[in-house]
Amino acid sequence: MSALVYDEPYKFPAVLLTLAMHAIFFTVLYLGVNWQVKQPEGMEVELWGELPESTIPPPPTAHAAETPPPKHMQEKPSENLAPPAKPDIALREKKKSEASKPKKAAKKEPKKKPLTKVQQKQLKEDLQAADEGATMATSAEQAVNNAKAAQQAQARAAITSEVEKYKTLIRSKIRDNIVMPPDVPDDAQVIFVITLLPDGSVMDDVKRVKSSGIAAYDDAVERAIRKTNTLPLPQDEAARAWFINPNHLELKFSPKNGE
């Protein structure tokens, strides 16, 4: 039995179609890879440390006109930066804004009218009266001070007179109790300081501050002071305070002058 061989009429076109599809696929793959690997075009960038002070270049000199700077040194105008405002325009705008503001009217001080002769005379009289019043016030104050000083001096004189009067009375009362020893010279003098109580009584602290040189006479006077129980005192409070001040009453005794 022999094998039957059938003819396939569509086999050759299918092979051509497959080859064509593979060719298209490889073409697309090749183009895609080349598009991704392609390097971007380069860009030129200039770096600035700070903005230029002015976009207007300085006037070229004779040498600069002959040899222009290279292209990479030339300044390119910036499209994003606006040109700076001119100073004179800014000043004019500022002056216009200040001029448009309402100005405050300055207060004018009223002019002083000159004084008339009558007013000048009255002013002079007022000043003179004020000076006289101040002088009178000073004189009155001085008079008051003088009167006070005179009163104080008079009071002190009255107190001194009263003190001397009662000192004489006190010495007289003590002398009445002195028993004189014999042969005492007239110029002998002894001094004692005593302390009195407000009722006139003598305290025991009798002090002899100066001796007469004759012990008998000194002892006789001291015995007389201690024997006198109560001494007369003035009624005036100031004079009385002078006597009762401790260790203030000083008494002198001498046969010559009767003290």
In order of start, what are the domains of the chain with their CATH numbers? 134-253 (3.30.1150.10)
User: What span, in angstroms and rounded, lies between the C-alpha atoms of 238 and 255?
Assistant: 31
Asked if 208 and 147 touch (Cβ cutoff 8 Å), the reply is: no
pLDDT at 223: 93
Angle, helix 237-244 to helix 117-175, in steps of 10 degrees: 50
Asked if 251 and 245 touch (Cβ cutoff 8 Å), the reply is: no
pLDDT at 50: 64
pLDDT at 237: 87
**Nearest in space to 192 (alpha carbons), one of 161, 169, 170:** 170
Mind giving me the DSSP string for 70-120?
Answer: PGGGSPPPPSSSPPPPPHHHHHHHHHHHHHHSPPPPPPPPPPPPPPPHHHH
Which H helix or E strand runs over 190?
Answer: strand 190-194
Our measurement of the distance from residue 175's CA atom to the centroid of its chain's CA atoms, rounded to an integer in Å, reads 72
pLDDT at 26: 81
SS3 percent helix, strand, coil of the chain, rounded to 5, is: 50, 5, 45
Give pLDDT tens digits along the chain (259 positions). Answer: 444 444 555 566 777 888 888 888 888 777 766 555 555 566 666 666 666 565 555 555 544 445 555 555 555 554 455 555 555 666 777 776 766 665 555 566 667 777 788 888 888 888 888 888 888 888 888 888 888 888 888 888 888 888 888 888 988 899 999 999 988 998 899 999 988 888 888 888 889 999 999 999 999 999 999 898 788 888 888 888 888 866 578 889 988 765 5
Residues 6+ apart with CB under 8 A from 236: 158, 159, 162
pLDDT at 159: 87
User: What span, in angstroms and rounded, lies between the C-alpha atoms of 142 and 135?
Assistant: 10
User: What span, in angstroms and rounded, lies between the C-alpha atoms of 195 and 248?
Assistant: 7
Query: Whole-model pTM?
Result: 0.43
